[in-house]
Amino acid sequence: MSFINYASREINCKIVYYGPGLCGKTTNLQYVYQKTAPEAKGKMISLATETERTLFFDFLPLALGEIRGFKTRFHLYTVPGQVFYDASRKLILKGVDGVVFVADSQEERMDANIESLENLRFNLKEQGYDLDRLPYVVQYNKRDLPGVLPVEELRQELNPTGVPDFEACAATGEGVFETLKAVAKLILIDLKKGR
Amino acid sequence: MAYPQMVMYDEEFKQINFVIEKLLREANAKVIFLVDKNGQLISGVGETDRFDTTSLASLTAGNIAATGGLAKLIGEKEFSILFHEGEKDNLHISIVGGRVILVVIFDNRSSLGLVRLRVKKASEELTGIFDRLVRKAEEKERSGVPEFPFAEITDDDIDNLFS
Ligand SMILES: Nc1nc2c(ncn2[C@@H]2O[C@H](COP(=O)(O)OP(=O)(O)OP(=O)(O)O)[C@@H](O)[C@H]2O)c(=O)[nH]1
Ligand SMILES: [Mg+2]
């Protein structure tokens, strides 16, 4: 649920990075944080375990610039990917404006990808959202690893509706901004329609 | 869409700030924030410069969401007040009108009792303002007033954001 403040001329949108454990959601945000000019970002907050697994969420506020005199802010969140943190995932999805599904391209993570995507759909539905009507993009991450599944195969399983999708290596940043830009654009287009 | 957009207009923004500024004085607080349940800052008064307001808003909303989840688990509707006591500063968090979160930070120049009392009064006023705001937004939507600033946004506008 975007928040339009006519008084301070600001618009705030919430983007959630979803995906199985260790697929690289936090790494995506870390890269965006590293590469964004200081004046365009706030502090990145990571509520993580001692082993750097996301426990509740990561949060990164971006203030990218103005459109038509309105300051446009995006609040980026990641969910904890580990299966047993489902209650937390549901909370983070509240008020979401756009979703990035980060898939792990490794063959042995395919089942985890599928399970996480079903979980996303289910949790959204529980809150009255329909993934097919939400600004939504898919990222195939860890393309740098040897022996990953071909994109075609991933696409067939994880992106049957053909939303914008991107290959990425979040560790080096490849594909990270392309992904973010794509979902941001879909959100703004959605706003333009005025819902 | 499952939820309507949250909007804020000049008139209500001024009224809200008037109420929380009064609360700041009457409760002897250091700083007061209003945050929506999704973690977006609505307004802040007092020593706001000393705090990272964006982070504060996000964590407050996370905190409310988590305790709300806990409440449900034990069969409560919601914990409408949270209080965290620090060595120097204390944090009083409450839900206003079921919709927005009011955060009051105060030290030993004030007291929990005073803050509670003043928050209660301010909450009633704020609830009224937010109710009006929601009605106003709904009316504007119904009447189809095309005042939405993004109606004419172009692809270039969007691309420029990321350049
Ligand atoms: N080789 C490779 N490793 C990556 C890539 N992206 C992330 N990683 C690594 O994968 C591990 C997990 O990354 P995170 O970003 O913490 O994963 P996450 O999705 O946030 O995991 P949870 O918080 O448990 O849900 C880290 O060691 C990263 O360095 C990538 O593109 N290639
Ligand atoms: Mg993580």
pLDDT surpassing 80 at residue B3: no
How large a percentage of chain B has pLDDT more than 90?
62
| Confidence bin at B142 (pLDDT 50/70/90) | confident
For domain A3-193, the CATH architecture is 3-Layer(aba) Sandwich (3.40)
Q: Using alpha carbons, list the distances in angstroms from residue B126 to A149, B99, B137.
A: 54, 10, 16
Interchain proximity A42–B54, CB inside 8 Å:
yes
Spacing, Cα A53 to ligand 1 middle (Å): 9
Q: How do residues A76-97 score in pLDDT, each as one tens digit?
A: 999 999 998 999 999 999 999 9
- Residue ranges of chain A whose pLDDT lies below 70: 1, 194-195
Q: How do residues B32-68 score in pLDDT, each as one tens digit?
A: 999 998 888 999 999 999 999 889 999 999 999 899 8
A22 in contact with ligand 1, CB cutoff 6 A: yes
Interchain proximity B13–A5, CB inside 8 Å:
yes
- Ligand 1: atom nearest CA of A170 is 31
Higher pLDDT pick, B108 / B139: B108
Q: Which residues of A7-45 are buried (b: 16+ CB within 10 A; e: fewer)?
A: beebbbbbbbbbbbbbbbbbbbbbbbbeebeeeebbebb
Query: Whose atoms come closest to the Cα of A102: which ligand?
Result: 1
> Any idea what DSSP says for residue B159?
H
Compute, in degrees rounded to 10, the torsion defined by CA atoms B131, B61, A188, B7. Answer: 20
Q: How do residues B94-125 score in pLDDT, each as one tens digit?
A: 999 888 999 999 999 999 999 999 999 999 99
pLDDT of B1 reads 36
State how far the Cα of A32 lies from the Cα of A169, in Å rounded to an integer.
13
pLDDT surpassing 50 at residue B2: no
CB-based contact A28:A176 (threshold 8 Å)? yes
